[in-house]
Structure 1
Amino acid sequence: MRLLAVLWLSVGLVGCASTGSPQRSEEGLIDARAKISMGRCDTKLVADLRKHPVPELDQQAAYVCLQQGEVKAVEALLEDYQQRHVEPPHPDYSAYLLTLAQYARFEMAAEDDVLRLKEGRKLHAQFADFVRRFPDSDYRTEIAPRLHELLEGMAAAEYRLALTAAEAGDREGGRQRMDYVARYYPHTESGREARAWLERLQEE
């Protein structure tokens, strides 16, 4: 329910500007700073920061929310970071936190291989976009190990789907999927297992 509430905020509050009095604005920021310092992430925190543009607080709050697995809150705070703020600081850090949020989505789909592949493709695109947009960012060094984990996870999902197809009687569909794993994930554990599976199939 909390994630659904944050999703509503991410849609409903985009583009909103602060319309309250300076006193109310300061009260909202005081409350936001207090929650960040206590490591709390909730919908009011997101709403307060959407109303009162302070880019540094957006990033600090997004980090807190990410630690709690509140992916939609992270996205609500940072997806339009560069549009809501004028020349905001550290745009690469915001983009990096967004890739981590998508990585969390990928991990949360561990029990659903089809969904895992869907989220994995989105994450792969975000990794590529990050490297293209921020070639000199210090956070690039964090991308490589996560990209390796992503490819291993996607290959494993494809391999399981191939086995499921073959065991369900769709031997040709399973073979095609195994060939895809072996071809496009050659350096992963599942890629090696797919090649071995295909070799056994040829021997039959």
Structure 2
Amino acid sequence: MPRLLWPLLCLLILAGCAANPEDRPELTEADQYREARESIESKNYLTAIDQLKELEARFPYGDYAEQSALDLIYAQYKSVDYPATVVAAQRFMRNHPAHPRMDYALYMRGLANFNMEKGLFDNMVASDRSSKDMAAAKDAFRDFERLVSRFPDSEYAPDARARMVHIRNQLARQELHVARYYARRGAIVASLNRAQYVVKHYQHTPAVEESLAIMVKGYQRLELPKQAEKSRAVLALNWPNSTFLDDDKHVDLAWWPDEDNGLLSLLTFDLL
């Protein structure tokens, strides 16, 4: 019996080798694209990415080349690989500049940049990004601005506009954050410059209110009463119930350092 089993076992092994998946007929472009779409629909995004890249390598100028490039952008985004999403979107826009779905590529690149600096805890709790590096947010703003400028009637334009407002508010808060930083360290001129920048370039954002209050305190510290009063009047006119105004409509910033504390903070790197 053992002598009869060994040849049978060898035959089974050879049959298994003959059925190696690598020996199966190559899929057509349509079949391979269908498999990639099935992976996306079943939310197997990493598998879909591999399939779409293989499809592109085998059929770079095929019937599904443009659509698979768009699907790759989507799969990269859903896999939370935002840098790869930006690259895929840029490549699509470079290779297909007149494509009717250019608005989608712009929108997805903007979304990827918008989420680029978000971490795990940013998705779990409300997080103010204004004190962080906002380079990716600025890139997102440019993407959304380009989208609404070129495709004002796009289905993605309303959301892009809303995100632009959010980014603009964040950028204004970042300037305000720096203005506070300089003021606490006694760098009054630098603080004034930042506050003025907010008032000039980020009108209609919530940060303007406190920026005007900083300008009042800064001008007072520099003994420029006319400029201080002008800034106070603008603040009182536009925000008559501002929390930065006391009952007599004088500016009151709880965090504003007195002259001695500002110098101490500067000399001790804000350790005291």
Where does residue 79 of structure 1 map in the other structure?
A: 90
Offset, 1:159: 0.9
Alignment of 1:130 with 2:152, yes or no, is no
Shift in CA distance, 41/26, structure 1 to aligned 2, threshold 3 Å: same
Deviations 1:101-133 (A, max 9, x none): 1211265696574621x2233222222222232
In 2, Cα distance between the equivalents of 1:203 and 1:83? 53
Residues 145, 164 of structure 2: 8 Å contact kept: no
153, 157, 160: which one aligns with 1:140: 157
Q: What 5-or-longer segments of structure 1 have no aligned partner?
A: 1-20
Residues 41, 61 of structure 1: 8 Å contact kept: no
Q: Count residues in correspondence.
A: 183
Residues 159, 177 of structure 1: 8 Å contact kept: yes
User: What RMSD over aligned residues (CA atoms) do the two structures have, in Å?
Assistant: 3.1
Residues 36, 61 of structure 1: 8 Å contact kept: no
Which is further off, 160-169 or 61-70?
61-70
Offset, 1:89: 4.3
Deviations 1:114-166 (A, max 9, x none): 621x2233222222222232233232222221111011111111111221122
Where does residue 93 of structure 1 map in the other structure?
A: 104
Residues 46, 76 of structure 1: 8 Å contact kept: no
Residues 71, 101 of structure 1: 8 Å contact kept: yes
Alignment of 1:115 with 2:133, yes or no, is yes
The aligned amino acid for 1:23 is: L
Offset, 1:73: 2.6
Equivalences for 1:49-198 in 2 at 5 Å? 50-51=56-57, 52=59, 54=64, 55-85=66-96, 88-105=99-116, 107=118, 113=131, 115-116=133-134, 118-198=135-215
- The alignment's TM-score, normalised by the length of structure 2, stands at 0.56
Residues 50, 77 of structure 1: 8 Å contact kept: no
- Name the structure with the higher helix share: 1
36, 42, 58: which one aligns with 1:38: 42
Shift in CA distance, 96/111, structure 1 to aligned 2, threshold 3 Å: closer
Where does residue 29 of structure 1 map in the other structure?
A: 33
Residues 131, 174 of structure 2: 8 Å contact kept: yes
In 2, Cα distance between the equivalents of 1:132 and 1:182? 25
SS in 2 for 1:141: helix
Residues 109, 140 of structure 2: 8 Å contact kept: no
Shift in CA distance, 141/34, structure 1 to aligned 2, threshold 3 Å: same
In 2, Cα distance between the equivalents of 1:129 and 1:24? 38
Q: What 5-or-longer segments of structure 2 have no aligned partner?
A: 1-24, 123-127, 222-272
SS in 2 for 1:188: coil
- The alignment's TM-score, normalised by the length of structure 1, stands at 0.72
Residues 40, 65 of structure 1: 8 Å contact kept: no
Alignment of 1:48 with 2:59, yes or no, is no
SS in 2 for 1:177: helix
Residues 129, 170 of structure 2: 8 Å contact kept: no
Shift in CA distance, 163/87, structure 1 to aligned 2, threshold 3 Å: closer
Offset, 1:80: 2.2
The aligned amino acid for 1:154 is: L
